[in-house]
Amino acid sequence: MYTSFDLFDEALPHDSKLIDKQYLAKRNYLRSKMQKHNF
């Protein structure tokens, strides 16, 4: 069941072209830290 907090659109993938480079860098940084700690 989805909530108003969930967002499943074209901006969801980590390599989305819809995200500004600044935010994409932050997203990738967070992803790398989460992967490093087996999240």
Tell me the pLDDT band of 1, cut-offs 50, 70 and 90. Answer: low
3-state secondary structure of 27: helix
Whether 1 maps to a domain, the answer reads no
Considering the entire predicted model, what is its pTM?
0.64
How far is CA 13 from each of CA 4, 22, 24, rounded to the nearest angstrom? 19, 15, 10
- Is residue 8 pLDDT above 70, yes or no? yes
pLDDT tens figures, 21-32: 999 999 999 999
Whether 27 maps to a domain, the answer reads yes
Phi-psi region of 38 (alpha: psi -120 to 50; beta: other; left: phi over 0): left
Whether 34 maps to a domain, the answer reads yes
Whether 5 maps to a domain, the answer reads no
Whether 4 maps to a domain, the answer reads no
Average pLDDT on 9-29 reads 88
**23: domain range?**
15-39
Number of structural domains found in the chain = 1
